[in-house]
Structure 1
Amino acid sequence: MFADIILPLNLPQLLTYGVPIEMQELLKPGMRVEVALGKNKQYSGIVERLHNEKPEAYMVKPIRNIIDEAPVANEKQLKFWRWIGEYYMSAPGEVMQAALPAHLKLMGETRLQWIAGEDVQINLSDEGYIAAEALQIKGEITISELREIVGYRQLAAVLNELLEHEVIRINDELEQSYKPRKERIVVLAEVYKEEQALMHLFDRLARAPKQLELIMAYTELNIKKGYVRQVDLLDRAKATASHLKALVEKDVFSIKEQEIDRLPAKDIPITKEVAFTPVQQVAYDDLNKGLNEKNVALLQGVTGSGKTLLYIHKIQECINQGKQALLLLPEIAVTTQLVSRLLAYFGDSLGVYHSHFSNNERVEIWEKVRKGIYKVVVGPRSALWLPYNTLGIVIIDEEHDGSYKQRDPAPRFHARDAAIYLAALYESKVILGSATPSLESLYNVQQGKYAYASLKDRYMGVKMPEIELVSPRSTDTAKTKTPGILTPQLQQAILEALAHKKQVILFQNRRGYSPFQQCTVCGWVAQCTNCAVSLTYHKSTGKLHCHYCGLKAALTHACPSCGSSSMSSKSFGTEKIEEEVQQLFPKAKVARMDVDSMRKKNSMAELFENLQKHKVDILVGTQMVVKGLDFASVSLVGILSADSILSFPDFRVNERAFQLMEQVSGRAGRADGEGRVIIQTYNLQHPTLQWVKEHNVSAFYRSEIKFREMFGYPPFTRLIKIIFRHKDEAKAMAAAGLMAQGLLTMPHVTVQGPGPAVVARIRDQYIQEIWMKCPKDNKQMEPVKEFLKTQKQYILNQRGYSNVQIVFDVDPA
């Protein structure tokens, strides 16, 4: 018997290993196994397939060990991984790395053990002595620790030196990195579990009040939970560990370590079902009718129409059938608020999965999904990787959102499209929900591929917000031509909202204090030394930041080009807006929501709680504020710079701008219909802004789809972006040129490029791009992908090109 193994490496194919006879009855696809690669490297891989086909190209090594008693990945997951790898042109190992939680991937860090004793006399180099001393003290270190001690350049020489003198041994064992959480549990002796014996114990301890309090606290806690944690007992009794130790010595209590759940059950009362409004009932009936005929349905509902209620009913139907449900959301920001609503319906059968959980917590969620404890899973795109047993429905909320596309690292998959394939594996249904659906989804409805249902009115007939377009020209400073942040109209609207005890959201799609620092004499702009971008000033740190490589530089006070001290911060980010708003409205409570302010694990939850309790009057934020926030008291939304959203060099720019502005506008007046939106723009006549003003998705779609068809963009073609990175710009350009030359021989394909990327250098790597327009037909796409892989290998095999990074991005965002 042979097994095809997925290894956590960027290898173009699976490797085949022999299955020893004693393992053949135990081994199943989806189990983790320990295998050797090369002379002395060990890896944990996952069995993808068992068969009897011996490979002829190489000698087969045996599997060393089976790690699991049961598969960690099921058969449908493995099929899903294979499809992701094939469609998005990713290596199987890259897919596995993305899919498995970190702690299910065993660590194979080579360890060095000191075996020579303490008084050994040997001649070593200076670096060798330093390494030997560290090994003698610790007894054992890893290769990466040795690299830190002696430096990268000396690593190989020192390692050989120590091995030649036979003072170290290499110990290359795989370790489980997941460790269950253990806690000390207090157990009452069996003899005292009878009431009479317990009462006698109370009498005995009458002169030891602290010990008596411990017994009483134990009785109270044990009735509530069925077990008592040591930390809870000491806290309840206001006692110390010595008081507890005295009772252990008297054989009243015993203490044992017990594995506990990192994700304890939530004691939340279940909410009764909320009845549909007549409009919702019609949409729900249309949705059910559509799903009976098609596998995918688009639910288009204006912001605040109550789409979530329809989702909840469909999920409940799925649970009643004994199946699991998956609700995908674009970002954690949306997850935080929606989860509190869903918990009230589904209680402990609801699981949440996202990157803010620790690695250990993610393993426990994985296991709860695999065992079927979680009936409903909510999360961003990473929730697709979980081991579902019987998936009944997949709901993709805000399906238009760009966050569903994974950009780096591989696999660069689109969660919406991948979810539709995953649902097909389980023969389950898919609901795509959005107020502003993607052009691709609307086109699929038009072509009869998807079913369609709509909610044209807000919940309970609440009015859509009124939208005003305002030019900031009048607020620009006459001498410097610097744009004012808030127009008088927006300032007045904020005052009115605050006077009525309402909340305000101000949207600006730039974080930091100022997007760039410029010399007003010669025009010099502070640039990142590693990337072809300007540095952004962050007042919170007092430094200039690069948002691409993370570089931080000191604020420049004198121009390095002309020596002038006339330096000026240009434009404005969320930090500067927050500061100015606080100055203009000193009595208002202002908060900021962007990547910088939301870094901590509970930052999002705390902010939402403060908004709910009206501890925040004005919220300043980036795209995060767009993602489905639902607060009844928000009456005003200000979009501070619409022009920056409408001027990005991308064929999707109008679609993105329309969706972004329509979504952020939808945060206003959700409860009472008294919403107001002010959009600041220099280009008052831009057609996209007129469609946003009228909330007219249909008119926007009709215009945009003509443009896409005319120029051959999706949904009429498929795009593949090929990215070339190298520290030498000439090599990146030459490699891209070789690829473009080869592509000229491909039929039915349009090639644009090569040319520099929008940001042409990141982290000291020059970037060239080629864009390909390909036919939609999968049969015609397969030879294109095969050719790209062959051409990539050909380029990398050319002398001097082996270090060029060549990346394929299928269906780029």
Structure 2
Amino acid sequence: MIFVEVLLPVPISGTFTYSVPEALADSIRIGYRVIVPFGRKKFYTGIIASQTPVAPQGYEVKDIALILDEWAVVRHLQLKLWHWMADYYLCTPGEVMRAAMPAGLKIESETFVSADPDYEEKPDERLSQREMAVMNYILGCEKKQPLDLIGKKTGFANIGPIINSLLEKGAVQISENLVERYRSRKETYVRLTVDKGDSDGLHKAFDSVRSGSMQEKALLALIEISAFMRQDSELQEVTRTELMERSGVTTTVIAAMAKKGIVDIYKKEISRFSYSGLVTGELPVLSEAQASALDSIHKSWFEKDITLLRGVTSSGKTEIYIHLIDYVLRQGRQALYLVPEIALTTQLTRRLQRVFGDKVVIYHSKFSDNDRVDIWKKLLASSEPCVVIGARSAVFLPFASLGLVIVDEEHESAYKQQDPAPRYNGRDAAIVLASMHGAKTLLGSATPAVDTYYKALTGRFGLIELTERYEGLRLPQVEIIDMAAARKRGEVEGAFSLLTRRLVNESLQRGEQSILFINRRGYAPIARCKLCGYVPKCENCDVSLTYHRHSDKLICHYCGTPYGVPDVCPACKEPGIEVLGYGSERVEEEIDSLFPTAAIARMDLDTTRSKDGYETIIDNFSKGKSQILVGTQMVTKGLDFGRVSMVGVINADSIVNFPDFRASERAFNMIEQVAGRAGRKSDNGVVAVQTYNPSHPLFDFLVRHDYKDYYQREIQERQRYNYPPFVRIIYVYIKHKDPAAVSTIAFEFASRLRVLLGNRVSGPDEPYVARIQTLYIRRIMLKIETQASISKVKSLLNDIRIEMTNSRQLLGAVLYYDVDPM
């Protein structure tokens, strides 16, 4: 009997042992997917991690139910990366597997809910308002409904507790169905039943269609497209769509031809991805500074596997990346090009495709699950050279021979996964992935993360610096606008100072473009009663609600719950509700009223939810169809617009004044990056930064575009107060529905940690938002020496968790860790 260790996408440490039935013994390999029973009723897709002939002792071993594959769907180095991530980020390999694999490769039980026909509401067990809303939806459906769909349709983000309560009251029934989400893309093809060169057969085919002129037309088109008569060409496959377009016939005509035996109609699985645009194959011409940097990178890699390229905005880092990718592809290896935002893939993909054509593969979360599965299979099936461009999740793809990893804008916090586990940093995971493949890593940024620049200066990474813009253009002029003084002078209208409005207007008159950055989405961040001061807050989270005008709703940006705008104040019963402050939606509205003849676009989470949302906005702005782009953090990334001469930062204080040790770094990076969108093709770039605190030392560095002086100040602060890169930060989060219970649990957990780790432990304290989705939160901070073993820390944390679980002290609590928080 053979036994296998199976990795399952569940938050439980380790693998699970299953026996292999004799009939399947010859079909088992490491990396294959198998369907296995787990728990009482559930079935999961697992990955075979290892085999052993030794039977486990002490419990009954279940059989695997089904083998899904004839080849491995996960490579050895992927499994190795998963285990590293689980160890380093203090989670389980199953949680990493769930994040790594497209849902279409994970067939599993899905919970379905239906109403219990025998249920009668009891006087002492009345349904709550939420339970009644869910029951009304279920009763209105003819079939049983999947759990996640009920949550979406009813608007309740946390639907599980409601269903559990209904289950306890006997109002609903649940069942488990095995669900496969992946659907391959198939195309319908048409081919002649006559062999090539069979003239008699071809004559008979024409004889049979003489009575139908449309069929004859289709036959002639099919012969032409398929190259049937060309002796110097192989027979080409013809899609039904292509045949219909060329001949002008319908599917009925082609079906009639098939009935006569003239053609065969068949379906074939095809890739969703192909590039049909212009491929020049020409590498960009490098300036002398770029060529020198490229040469220095190659030399640096002789000594260091990781090199940092610090190049000021618009210095031409992307052109250097393209030369490096070409070098790796010519060696027959693969490249990974990571970007922090999906929006960046739109512009970069086209630039890469013009050079590399179909060798460019795009991968990010806006693709459908079917798309992601197709890309996964494409990389599994071939080790041919290609370049994958994508966001952080691209590190999970099954690379066969990775030769180069590029992490562009490496400083970006968007590389850090926040929820759920694994809470990994895509940049750091990519570095580890590269080392596993024996590949080189290039980190690129105009404003590197303080930790990264420290490692480069201390010799851990190589360092190359590009200090001038392409073609010698000047960096944009930065104007710091004192909004308090401007308001006293009557120079502020709405969200804009007089100078900001003038600079936008001058840009429009020159036929140029402007970008306006505000770090808030929605219309207004606060609704308030102007009579009594009441502020509507989320019922589930400790945050005020943001007003969105397009939906006329107050929305919680933490749990997504929408609320109607009250006609009268719930506190004083007067019609005094007003909205205060500015979000991207309101800035767009105001700028539209100030410049009614200008075309305005907005790029934020609300306008880019669709797969093509980014592409449409960026395309229109690139082509000059819109003159002003209003946006949130998305517009601060490395977008390249040649006609932008003016950038406005509407409320710099919202970025600077944040309770976090990285606030200063994040603010400098964000403002310097968005400033870098201006003047990329001319010397007339200008940046207007609106603030009520112009004396903040950060603004002096920004005016001078002085990253090095900023870094020196910041690194001294970090060393003085013992923050990264001099220590490693680990947050321990504890959540509970009861505020008293969460405080007790967090205090006990921190006390036990202090016994073992001493003054490395701080807290517990309340985070900036202390309740999310009905759960109260406490946070404990650990400052661990950089040379300390994370696995030992994990063992200590796990021991405390087990002790407190066994003593029932963690009852009802959620416990998790965040390593290297951003």
Query: TM-score, normalization: structure 1?
Result: 0.91
- Is 2:321 aligned against 1:320? no
Whole-angstrom CA distance in 1 between matches of 2:524 and 2:488:
17
Of 557, 578, 583, 1:547 maps to: 557
Change (3 A) 1:145 1:811: closer
* Residue 228 of structure 1, CA deviation: 2.2
CA deviations over 1:587-637 (Å, ceiling 9, x no partner): 000010000011111111111111121000000000000111101011100
- Is 2:189 aligned against 1:189? no
Of 444, 469, 481, 2:480 maps to: 469
Of 728, 746, 766, 2:756 maps to: 746
1:286 — aligned with what? 296
CA deviations over 1:160-201 (Å, ceiling 9, x no partner): 999xxxxxxx9x785543232223211122158656865786
Whole-angstrom CA distance in 2 between matches of 1:146 and 1:465:
49
Determine helix, strand or coil for the equivalent of 1:517: strand
Of 663, 685, 705, 2:673 maps to: 663
* Residue 749 of structure 1, CA deviation: 4.9
* Residue 153 of structure 1, CA deviation: 5.2
- Is 2:215 aligned against 1:211? yes
Whole-angstrom CA distance in 2 between matches of 1:147 and 1:764:
19
Matched residues, number: 788
Determine helix, strand or coil for the equivalent of 2:388: strand
1:378 — aligned with what? 389
Whole-angstrom CA distance in 1 between matches of 2:526 and 2:448:
34
1:107 — aligned with what? 108
Contact 1:477 1:484 in 2 (8 A): no
**Pairing 1:695-734 to 2, within 5 Å after superposition:** 695-734=705-744
Contact 2:416 2:424 in 1 (8 A): yes
* Residue 219 of structure 1, CA deviation: 3.6
* Residue 531 of structure 1, CA deviation: 1.0
Whole-angstrom CA distance in 1 between matches of 2:92 and 2:500:
51
CA deviations over 1:367-422 (Å, ceiling 9, x no partner): 11122356111101100000111111111000000001110000001111111111
- Is 2:458 aligned against 1:454? no
* Residue 463 of structure 1, CA deviation: 1.3
Determine helix, strand or coil for the equivalent of 1:770: strand
Higher mean C-alpha deviation, range 668-677 or range 701-710: 668-677
Contact 2:529 2:577 in 1 (8 A): yes
Change (3 A) 1:478 1:765: farther
Contact 1:465 1:668 in 2 (8 A): yes
* Residue 497 of structure 1, CA deviation: 0.6
* Residue 468 of structure 1, CA deviation: 0.8
Whole-angstrom CA distance in 2 between matches of 1:550 and 1:308:
37
Determine helix, strand or coil for the equivalent of 2:346: helix
* Residue 279 of structure 1, CA deviation: 0.4
Whole-angstrom CA distance in 2 between matches of 1:471 and 1:811:
35
2:11 — aligned with what? 10
- Is 2:806 aligned against 1:805? no
**Pairing 1:439-518 to 2, within 5 Å after superposition:** 439-476=450-487, 484-518=494-528
- Is 2:408 aligned against 1:397? yes
Whole-angstrom CA distance in 2 between matches of 1:498 and 1:194:
68
2:699 — aligned with what? 689
Determine helix, strand or coil for the equivalent of 1:801: coil
Change (3 A) 1:145 1:554: closer
Determine helix, strand or coil for the equivalent of 2:421: coil
Whole-angstrom CA distance in 1 between matches of 2:673 and 2:509:
25
Whole-angstrom CA distance in 2 between matches of 1:141 and 1:499:
60
Contact 1:470 1:684 in 2 (8 A): yes
Change (3 A) 1:103 1:204: closer
Whole-angstrom CA distance in 1 between matches of 2:147 and 2:677:
49
Whole-angstrom CA distance in 2 between matches of 1:800 and 1:199:
86
2:782 — aligned with what? 772
1:59 — aligned with what? 60
Amino acid at match of 2:389: V
Of 603, 608, 616, 2:613 maps to: 603
Contact 1:325 1:394 in 2 (8 A): yes
1:427 — aligned with what? 438
Identity of aligned residues (%): 39
Runs ≥4 in structure 1, deviation > 6 angstroms? 110-113, 140-143, 145-151, 156-162
Contact 2:406 2:442 in 1 (8 A): yes
* Residue 156 of structure 1, CA deviation: 7.6
1:301 — aligned with what? 311
* Residue 486 of structure 1, CA deviation: 1.1
Contact 1:147 1:155 in 2 (8 A): no
Aligned-CA RMSD value: 3.1
* Residue 91 of structure 1, CA deviation: 1.2
Change (3 A) 1:54 1:601: same
Of 320, 339, 346, 1:336 maps to: 346
Contact 1:796 1:804 in 2 (8 A): no
Higher mean C-alpha deviation, range 710-719 or range 800-809: 800-809
Higher mean C-alpha deviation, range 42-51 or range 441-450: 42-51
Whole-angstrom CA distance in 2 between matches of 1:452 and 1:153:
58
Whole-angstrom CA distance in 2 between matches of 1:326 and 1:250:
51
Change (3 A) 1:525 1:242: same
Contact 1:471 1:681 in 2 (8 A): yes
2:124 — aligned with what? none
1:573 — aligned with what? 583
* Residue 12 of structure 1, CA deviation: 2.1
Determine helix, strand or coil for the equivalent of 2:344: helix
Query: TM-score, normalization: structure 2?
Result: 0.90
Amino acid at match of 2:817: F
1:167 — aligned with what? none
1:116 — aligned with what? none
Change (3 A) 1:52 1:274: same
Change (3 A) 1:518 1:374: farther
**Pairing 1:85-164 to 2, within 5 Å after superposition:** 85-109=86-110, 125=118, 155=167
**Pairing 1:554-593 to 2, within 5 Å after superposition:** 554-593=564-603
Of 526, 536, 550, 1:526 maps to: 536
Contact 1:472 1:682 in 2 (8 A): yes
Whole-angstrom CA distance in 1 between matches of 2:795 and 2:53:
27
* Residue 209 of structure 1, CA deviation: 3.3
Change (3 A) 1:410 1:197: same
Amino acid at match of 1:293: E
- Is 2:83 aligned against 1:82? yes
* Residue 522 of structure 1, CA deviation: 2.3
**Pairing 1:597-676 to 2, within 5 Å after superposition:** 597-676=607-686
2:32 — aligned with what? 31
Contact 2:603 2:634 in 1 (8 A): yes
Determine helix, strand or coil for the equivalent of 1:419: helix
CA deviations over 1:42-93 (Å, ceiling 9, x no partner): 3221112223554344333333332211111111111110000011011121
Higher mean C-alpha deviation, range 482-491 or range 542-551: 482-491
Whole-angstrom CA distance in 2 between matches of 1:388 and 1:784:
31
- Is 2:43 aligned against 1:42? yes
Higher mean C-alpha deviation, range 83-92 or range 143-152: 143-152
Amino acid at match of 1:405: K
CA deviations over 1:736-771 (Å, ceiling 9, x no partner): 011111011123652221111210111111111111
Amino acid at match of 2:445: S
2:126 — aligned with what? none
* Residue 691 of structure 1, CA deviation: 0.5
CA deviations over 1:231-263 (Å, ceiling 9, x no partner): 332233332233223322332222122222222
Q: Gaps (5+ residues) in structure 2?
A: 122-134, 155-161, 228-232
